[in-house]
């Protein structure tokens, strides 16, 4: 196969993998769990084949983040003491399979290719989500359940609906992913990726602005409080990163002092103003039941504080203690609505420390990639590139989301985290000397 055809196939696989992982809910709603599992194995196998075909020269096992390896080893080892051993085997397997796909993407794709693949997958997810909601409102004309699910007798739980037919009512819409919170987070990722592509001129202005508008419209039609807060924090992180670029590494002490002061003051201020702020965001004082969930999970975590109950990632709600841990709208909740609490519950304090290292070190590397001027040798001065902001802004979004959702531990969240963790540690390629490398249309040169 020619190099051009190989790159085209790799680009298609990367786009498919991102879309599949980030839109997993939609795939399951369409084809059901058995077919989803089979398709997952196929996609991971194809990523492994792509890795073997390309054989990236810079790959070395010992260069992978140690915290990532330790986390996977601990998750796998937890099978030995798990309170639900079969489910832990499934959870550890899913974690490893997602990581295999992440390793392939991180080493096979260059930074420009990665941004383009992620952007294309988000275009499909956001565009098709709006078309899906339009189809439900115009053609179906009523709420829609997942295609594989038979309508239950009596009142249907709001959590079961794939679409609630709210497009013409102003939302909140759920899109293909069947969740306004998840769709809103995809819109936030779209704002980040498309904004970077427009700023770096790696896509044409008109299409770039169009997809920025699509992302903004989707965010307006979902309005999840968590994502709105994440957007504010991402904008603050962007402002500090741009400030750091202007002053250089020798004069950043005022920046770090300012950031520390804002961080210290914001915690008590937000706590004092929590009631009006939550009301402004349309949330109740108990954060839509999250506080009760956190209390229930904390009680269980305290029973096995060191190594936890066993890894599962996404909760298997058919087995105890998840089955009766907490019920919302007639259904067991599928996660702790806080990734850090979930890790403590499943892998104990040891797992929490390792996870904190994985996230913290990835954020650390992402920050310096964003603010330090690119160099190929000491003393060389290269222009800043908008694309180097991508890891930082996505990591900030993931971290804020992790405080009220556990998505960072599974599917698209884990894929993004591990891709960035690996790539920021192993790929030090600098942007082109003109800043961001323009990317021509895929019909001409795929994924340059």
pLDDT tens, position by position, 120-154: 999 999 999 999 999 999 999 899 999 888 887 77
Whether 123 is in a domain gets the answer: yes
Whether 435 is in a domain gets the answer: no
Query: Structurally, how many domains does the chain consist of?
Result: 1
Whether 434 is in a domain gets the answer: no
372 lies in which domain range? 3-426
Whether 431 is in a domain gets the answer: no
Whether 49 is in a domain gets the answer: yes
d(CA 314, CA 93): 12
Per residue of the chain (448 residues), what is the pLDDT tens digit? Answer: 556 677 788 999 999 999 999 999 999 999 999 999 999 999 999 999 999 998 888 888 888 999 999 999 999 999 999 999 999 999 999 999 999 999 999 999 999 999 999 999 999 999 999 999 999 999 998 999 998 888 877 788 888 889 999 999 988 999 999 999 999 999 999 999 999 999 999 999 999 999 999 999 999 999 998 999 999 999 999 999 999 999 878 888 888 889 888 888 877 877 676 667 666 665 655 566 788 899 999 999 999 999 999 999 989 989 989 888 888 877 888 889 999 999 999 999 999 999 999 999 999 999 999 998 887 766 667 788 899 999 999 999 999 999 999 999 999 999 999 999 999 999 777 665 444 555 444 444 333 3
Whether 358 is in a domain gets the answer: yes
Whether 445 is in a domain gets the answer: no
CB 108 within 8 A of CB 56: yes
Whether 52 is in a domain gets the answer: yes
d(CA 148, CA 150): 7
Q: In the prediction, which pLDDT does 95 show?
A: 97
């Amino acid at each position: 196969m020619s190099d051009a055809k190989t790159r085209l196939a790799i680009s298609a696989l990367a786009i498919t993998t991102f879309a599949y992982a980030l839109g997993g809910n939609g795939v399951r709603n369409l084809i059901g769990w058995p077919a989803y599992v089979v398709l997952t194995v196929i996609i991971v196998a194809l990523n492994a084949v792509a890795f073997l075909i390309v054989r990236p020269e810079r790959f070395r096992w010992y260069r992978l983040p140690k915290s990532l390896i330790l986390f996977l080893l601990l998750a796998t080892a937890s099978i030995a003491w798990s309170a639900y051993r079969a489910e832990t085997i499934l959870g550890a397997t899913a974690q490893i399979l997602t990581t295999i796909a992440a390793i392939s993407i991180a080493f096979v794709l260059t930074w420009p290719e990665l941004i383009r693949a992620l952007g294309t997958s988000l275009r499909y997810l956001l565009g098709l989500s709006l078309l899906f909601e339009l189809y439900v409102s115009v053609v179906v004309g009523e709420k829609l359940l997942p295609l594989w699910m038979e309508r239950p007798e009596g009142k249907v739980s709001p959590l079961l609906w794939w679409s609630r037919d709210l497009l013409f009512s102003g939302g909140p819409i759920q899109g293909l992913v069947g969740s306004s919170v998840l769709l809103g987070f995809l819109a936030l990722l779209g704002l980040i990726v498309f904004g970077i592509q427009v700023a770096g001129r790696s896509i044409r202005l008109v299409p770039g602005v169009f997809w920025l508008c699509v992302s903004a419209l989707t965010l307006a039609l979902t309005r999840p409080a968590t994502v709105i807060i994440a957007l504010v924090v991402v904008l603050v992180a962007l402002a500090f990163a741009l400030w750091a670029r202007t002053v250089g590494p020798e004069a950043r002490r005022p920046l770090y002092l300012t950031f520390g002061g804002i961080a210290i003051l914001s915690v008590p201020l937000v706590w004092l103003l929590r009631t009006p702020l939550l009301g402004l965001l349309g949330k109740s004082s108990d954060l839509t039941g999250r506080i009760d969930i956190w209390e229930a999970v904390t009680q269980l975590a305290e029973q096995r504080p060191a190594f936890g109950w066993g890894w599962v990632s996404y909760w298997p709600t058919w087995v105890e203690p998840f089955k009766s841990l907490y019920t919302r709208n007639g259904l067991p909740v599928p996660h702790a609505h806080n990734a850090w609490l979930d890790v403590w519950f499943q892998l104990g304090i040891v797992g929490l420390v390792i996870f904190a290292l994985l996230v913290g070190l990835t954020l650390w590397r992402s920050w310096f990639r964003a603010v330090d001027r690119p160099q190929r040798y000491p003393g060389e001065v290269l222009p800043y590139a908008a694309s180097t902001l991508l890891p930082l802004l996505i990591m900030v979004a993931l971290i804020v989301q992790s405080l009220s959702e556990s998505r960072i531990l599974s599917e698209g969240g884990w894929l993004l985290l591990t891709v960035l963790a690996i790539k920021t540690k192993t790929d030090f390629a600098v942007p082109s000397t003109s800043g961001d490398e323009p990317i021509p249309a895929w019909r001409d040169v795929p994924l340059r």
